[in-house]
Structure 1
Amino acid sequence: MTPSLPTLTPRPVLSTSPDLAALAVDLIRKAGCEYGDIRLCTYRSQRLYARDRSLSNLSDNVSSGFGVRVLLDGAWGFAASHRISATEIERLVSLAVDIARASRLSQRERVQLVPVDAYQATFKTPIAIDPFEVPIAQKAELLLGLNEQLLAYGNRGIKKANSYLSFTREDKLFASTVGSVIEQTVYRSYPGFGCTAVANGDSQNRNYERPPLNVGYEHVDSADLLAQVERVAEEAIEKVHAPKGPQGIRSTLILKPSHLWLTIHESVGHPTELDRVYGYEANFAGTSFATTDQLGKLQYAADCVNFKADRTQPGGRSTVGFDDEGVPAQDWYVVKDGRLVDYLTDRETAFKLGRGSSNGCAYADSWSSVPMVRIPNLGLEPGPEGGSHTATLAEMIADTESGILIDGIGSFSIDQQRRNFQFGGDAFWQIEKGKIVGMLKDVTYHAMTTDFWNRVDAVGPASERLLCGTNMCGKGEPMQIAQMTHAAVPARVRDIQIGGAPTNG
């Protein structure tokens, strides 16, 4: 029998909040603050997870509240509450002002912000099907059906199956002393499944996902999920019987977008968060080697490599109308023709960099969280049609004498300044004389960030671009969770260390 949940009715925060937001802004102004804002939010999150023949996790949560942020005498103050009322807003504004006064006592330099225009606007993720209106029973039936088909390969070694669906909705009203009043509703959907094959004292996983995107239930696409089951099961079986990957050699890698997005995330996204560069954020995952004295000078990657940030990207996991400081969504190059040309900023870090405006990367994961710089949608741009370094995936393989093709993500690690990294993957194939000759398992590669990206000698065309990404990027202490898309094309990277310790060269 499929479990069911009671219907959840989120508290109607936005329907009552314009007057409360106006009250907060008025109180902040009267307190003499240089700047202040309020975010009144409702978040809904639903997740289903099936293991083998049972639905092992089913959650449907709603969280509502507001956060007030003030800048007084060059110091920040922030306070938040789940009690949404005029009385509570008066109390929290007063508390935030007191916190700002206390913060100023130990602050070495005044916070200053780049200007931003006032906006009265609304934004809503375009969706065809509201995921929260699809019955739980229908969702559970899909997951259990996927698992059942995977487990049908049990006599060939598939011993575990799992599948999941994840949906979120964010309703936010932002108002500031600048004069902005912005309402946003953001939907996110994420389906996937995987299995485990066991043989000869070993176990290996193989997974498939429809990438986490800002779309409705239409993204689930049951036909596509079911159509992938046979391939995923067969590859898990082949993988568990495959030889282990080589150790201590240097080789050519061909990386699919399903793998490459995580390498982009860790070695390009995080190092270019400007709060991390300045050392404002070092508690979780460290600082960055990409310091501002290298802006416009550092050859981050080969000339054929371009990384572009884009918070306007249709379906992107970080796509919104405005960030959590009321800055409009926009797009810009972070690395152009291989050169470091920009960072990811909020209003505070943009001022410190000497810029005239922010590129809109402030985000808070909850009404109770302080906005901070977060990676937007950040992707590897396709090669130009007819370009000397542009090649399809098939052409890259055919033009490779010996190498390894990698699909999906696996283990990874990267040092505290984002220089030295190691990545695994979900599936690996040996390439010999321009042909795929069989699977490998347990492959890892090691490199220094700029060495790696400067060894790229081919990038895929626009026709092979995929929107992959994450719904679980952690940053800060206490940790906040954000999500972003890293659209990418296939790429080939020459002379990379496989297994063992990194070597010079």
Structure 2
Amino acid sequence: MVQAPVRIASTELAQLAIALIRKSGCEYGDIRICSYRNQSLMTRDRSLSNLSDDVSSGFGVRVLHNGAWGFAASHRQTPAEITRIVALAVETAKGSRLSQQTPVRLVPQEAYQDTYITPIEIDPFEIPIAEKAELLLTISDRLLSYNARGVKKAFSFLHFNREEKTFASTEGSLIQQTIYRSYPGYWCTAIANGDAQNRTYELPPLNKGYEHIDKNDLLGNVERVAEEAIEKIHAPESPSGIHTSLILKPSNLFLTIHESVGHPTELDRVYGYEANFAGTSFATTDKLGKLQYGAPWINFIGDRTQPHGRSTMGYDDEGVRSQQWYVVQDGILVDYLTDRETAYRLGRNRSNGCAFADSWSNVPMVRIPNLGLEPGKPGDSHTATLAEMIADTEDGILIDGIGSFSIDQQRRNFQFGGDAFWQVKQGKIVGMLKNVTYHSMTTDFWNSVDAIGNASELEQCGTNLCGKGEPLQIAQMTHACVPVRVQNIQIGRGS
């Protein structure tokens, strides 16, 4: 009879790795033992087009030897493999040192022994697949009930993630975390007169359990989404080459924040460590404390403690405790997104906890945290509700949802689209437009914000598909924000 292999606890394997790293003469080392479960359901029209439920598990060892990094990883979680991988990581560091010009140094880090679990009400992996599929098929069926009026395609999805990881370091940390994430949504396509237009609805990707899948909300918006897709397909084209007022809902603004504030303030990008995949940054360190990034009422806050935020957790992948800090304060660039290495180079005495790897087989790098736009202050002349912004606009465009986008390699010059557009005339919404894009320079755009929403209109929008690095890593984050109005922005015509 064949006996099943004995499963050794992740904490024991982590402690073995740390003991071996210490014996190797490295000045620092850590191990992440991780398991990722990703479940995805998607429908196309009246059929389930995709069902996947994958688990990936393994460990990665990172060491710093004589100022050079070494990394190695494996899916085999055994003492023998731990021993082999630690040795390989050390040898890699020694080889890297031969070509490295400047030794790596890290800011100090307190040791923690802790456990963190995303607070959820309902485990999404305990809900039967049939129940989830039935919800999606019901949504698609209701969207397609508008077929005679032009809705020809319907899509819906549910995505769930569970990330379990044990982190240990030679500095004495031993941290175990379990992160849950949920994300539902749908869209439909209307077709008429040789054109096709989409309209999308989703509940933002958040760190919640199945309680985030609000059936009443999802089904309750089907009629509106279908009607707006039909109106959009018959709407006039965007004007082109004019400058106008834009009123941006959080569902659109979050992506502009992501690309024009999040990525430019990643300090590894600023230093040129990241260049091939998506460029470097105009927000160089000589501008720190000087650059007028936005109007004086513009404040951006990094916050990995934000309840339900997509990148909220107890600690980052270097064992740095989650925290909150200003990146732009009163319109001025005051800080960056850092890991322990870039924080040292900047002259800081601590990291703000932005190291993240999307897999046990990848190396942590600086990633955007939850990065949000602070609401306007009560009583400030620039604070206004969305309704007040519309009522106060003579000629403008209201934009909801995201569309195509592009931004240059220095994160200066950008173009964004959207999912739905309404023309505003003399303080009233007068009808939809289609194929609108807006164009600006990063600092020009944020300095042109003349109205900002209050805290009652704050929404936790964000992304689950932020790509960075080669090989590519995917991260996810929330950009909580409020509506804003931006003046004198160039409008173009997208496709």
Shorter-chain TM range is over 0.9
* Mapped partners of 1:58, 1:426: distance in 2: 26
- Following superposition, the deviation at residue 500 of structure 1 comes to 6.4
Do residues 337 (structure 1) and 330 (structure 2) align? Answer: yes
- Following superposition, the deviation at residue 13 of structure 1 comes to 12
- Following superposition, the deviation at residue 15 of structure 1 comes to 6.8
Residue type of the alignment partner of 1:475: K
Quote the residue 2:451 is aligned against.
Answer: 458
Do residues 166 (structure 1) and 124 (structure 2) align? Answer: no
Structure 1 counterpart of 2:254, from 252, 256, 261: 261
Quote the residue 2:350 is aligned against.
Answer: 357
Do residues 481 (structure 1) and 446 (structure 2) align? Answer: no
Structure 2 counterpart of 1:494, from 482, 487, 490: 487
- SS of the residue 2:91 aligns to: helix
Structure 1 counterpart of 2:271, from 273, 278, 287: 278
Quote the residue 1:433 is aligned against.
Answer: 426
Residues 24-63 of structure 1 aligned to structure 2 (within 5 Å): 24-63=17-56
- SS of the residue 2:92 aligns to: helix
- Following superposition, the deviation at residue 14 of structure 1 comes to 9.7
Residue type of the alignment partner of 2:175: I
* Mapped partners of 1:35, 1:249: distance in 2: 56
Q: Is the 8 A contact 1:304 1:458 kept in 2?
A: no
Do residues 402 (structure 1) and 406 (structure 2) align? Answer: no
Quote the residue 1:320 is aligned against.
Answer: 313
Residue type of the alignment partner of 2:28: Y
Per-residue CA deviation, residues 403-448 of structure 1 (Å, 9 max, x unaligned), is 0000000000000010000000000000000000000000001000
* Mapped partners of 1:325, 1:282: distance in 2: 23
Residues 43-442 of structure 1 aligned to structure 2 (within 5 Å): 43-442=36-435
User: Structure 1 stretch 432-441 or stretch 13-22: which is displaced more?
Assistant: 13-22
* Mapped partners of 2:454, 2:158: distance in 1: 31
- Following superposition, the deviation at residue 115 of structure 1 comes to 0.4
- Following superposition, the deviation at residue 388 of structure 1 comes to 1.0
- SS of the residue 1:321 aligns to: coil
Do residues 444 (structure 1) and 437 (structure 2) align? Answer: yes
Normalising by structure 1, we get a TM-score of 0.96
* Mapped partners of 2:185, 2:419: distance in 1: 14
Share of identical aligned residues, percent?
74
Quote the residue 1:3 is aligned against.
Answer: none
Q: Is the 8 A contact 1:307 1:333 kept in 2?
A: yes
Per-residue CA deviation, residues 440-460 of structure 1 (Å, 9 max, x unaligned), is 000001000000000000100
- SS of the residue 1:239 aligns to: helix
Q: Is the 8 A contact 2:167 2:319 kept in 1?
A: yes
- Following superposition, the deviation at residue 64 of structure 1 comes to 0.6
* Mapped partners of 2:20, 2:287: distance in 1: 43
- SS of the residue 1:93 aligns to: helix
- SS of the residue 2:98 aligns to: helix
**Structure 2 runs not aligned, ≥5 long:** none
* Mapped partners of 1:483, 1:13: distance in 2: 35
Q: Runs in 1 of length 4+ with deviation above 3 angstroms? A: 11-15
Quickly say closer, same or farther: Cα 1:359–1:149, change in 2 above 3 A.
Answer: same
- Following superposition, the deviation at residue 366 of structure 1 comes to 0.2
- SS of the residue 2:236 aligns to: coil
Q: Is the 8 A contact 1:161 1:194 kept in 2?
A: yes
Residue type of the alignment partner of 1:203: A
**Structure 1 runs not aligned, ≥5 long:** 1-10
Q: Is the 8 A contact 1:13 1:64 kept in 2?
A: no
Per-residue CA deviation, residues 453-488 of structure 1 (Å, 9 max, x unaligned), is 000001000000000000000000000000000000
* Mapped partners of 2:353, 2:255: distance in 1: 22
- SS of the residue 1:186 aligns to: strand
- Following superposition, the deviation at residue 386 of structure 1 comes to 1.1
Structure 2 counterpart of 1:469, from 451, 456, 462: 462
* Mapped partners of 1:302, 1:12: distance in 2: 62
- Size of the aligned set, in residue pairs, is 491
Residue type of the alignment partner of 1:100: A
